[in-house]
Amino acid sequence: MKKILTAAFLALGLAGPALADGHDKLVTVVTADEPQVQLMSMVLTHQAIDKGHASHILLCGPGGDIALKDAPESATAPQPPRDASPQGLLQAAIKKGATVEVCAIYLPGKGADESVLIDGVGVAQPPAMADAMVDDDSVVWSF
């Protein structure tokens, strides 16, 4: 059965068992506008990548702003305790092989095109994204 985890479950430490139960793929959905939530979504996604799980990151609404070349300061400012930023960890996840996309309606909603996105970020196609999210081998984390 598909396990859908929310940030509340993650805070309770339930993410580890879900990925340990034979789920190979992680889909991280980030919609939050809070820099600390955005950063923690990237920290936890990195932990899963480091444990060998394929990762697909979907950024929507305010979460999409961390993928902008001209991102808000909240996405690029270092945060304690390790002076990491949401965008910095997003770029590191891309280097580790994560697939990163903004929602299909994100750029049209901003009146922009893909040229405003940092390298390595594409635009999600709804059928393919839906397939990734409902795959029996996937776990979906939503922040």
Write out pLDDT tens, residues 80-117: 999 999 999 999 999 999 999 999 999 999 999 999 99
> pLDDT value at position 51?
95
> pLDDT value at position 3?
42
**CATH code at 25-132:** 3.40.1260.10
> pLDDT value at position 21?
55
> pLDDT value at position 8?
38
> pLDDT value at position 22?
59
> pLDDT value at position 20?
53
What does the alpha-carbon distance between residue 141 and residue 143 come to, in Å, rounded to a whole number?
A: 7
* Residues of the chain falling short of pLDDT 70: 1-23
Strand intervals (E) in 74-117: 99-102
> pLDDT value at position 59?
98
Longest dimension (CA), the chain: 42
> pLDDT value at position 115?
98
> pLDDT value at position 19?
55
The two structure tokens encoding residue 108:
């049209």
